[in-house]
């Protein structure tokens, strides 16, 4: 159970804050709901049943050691996502599944793969949207885990990619 004011992470909506816990009657049964405000979501609020939060992928921000591993991966020479496949739809599906897993290292792998692809040629619309989403997910996680500002988070991510602060 989370407390009002807790910072949480959702695999699709990114980092958010638990604003309230409310009870509603659904199909004649009282049900408790978490009411979240997610920065990546244009909706005013996202409501998730308390007993379905784990199933929905709600979690606390990762520990610094886990995030350090993801950021170290970004600055390393390795690329754990092979580019040998040529079917765009299959690759995009794989990337989307990795991001939806909620695993920050998988998000970092997709982000790095798209950065590499974008360095060679301009990203298509779907890739660009996924790139922006992975970047926002990483930025939110960095901000929440290290308790730093959005600007500091962006600098940390860019430094991890060795892009500098352009």
Enter the pTM of the model. Answer: 0.84
Q: How many CB atoms within 10 Å of residue 16?
A: 23
* Of 141, 134, 118, 119, residue with least CA distance to 69: 141
The structural domains of the chain, ordered by start, are 7-52 (2.40.10.170), 64-161 (1.20.58.1290)
Could you identify the residue written with the tokens 């949207």? 129
Which pLDDT tens digit goes with each residue over 79-111? Answer: 766 665 567 788 889 999 999 998 999 999 999
Strand-pairing partners, residue 16, are 8, 38
| Across 140-152, average pLDDT | 94
Pull the structure tokens for residue 29. Answer: 């049964």
Residue 166: pLDDT band (50, 70, 90) is very low
Average pLDDT, the chain: 88
pLDDT of residue 164: 39
Could you identify the residue written with the tokens 């790139």? 131
């Amino acid at each position: 159970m989370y407390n009002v004011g807790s910072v949480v992470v959702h695999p699709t909506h990114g980092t958010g804050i638990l604003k309230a816990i409310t009870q509603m009657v659904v199909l004649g049964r009282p049900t408790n709901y978490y009411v979240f405000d997610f920065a990546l979501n244009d909706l005013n609020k996202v409501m998730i049943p308390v007993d379905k939060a784990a199933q929905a992928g709600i979690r606390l921000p990762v520990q610094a050691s886990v995030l350090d591993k993801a950021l170290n991966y970004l600055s390393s020479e390795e690329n754990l996502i092979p580019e040998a496949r040529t079917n765009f739809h299959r690759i995009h599906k794989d990337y989307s599944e990795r991001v939806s897993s909620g695993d920050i290292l998988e998000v970092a792998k997709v982000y790095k793969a798209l950065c590499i692809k974008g360095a060679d040629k301009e990203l298509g619309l779907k890739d660009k949207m996924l790139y922006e989403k992975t970047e926002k997910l990483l930025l939110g996680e960095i901000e929440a885990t290290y308790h730093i500002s959005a600007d500091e988070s962006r600098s940390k991510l860019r430094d991890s990619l060795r892009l500098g602060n352009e």
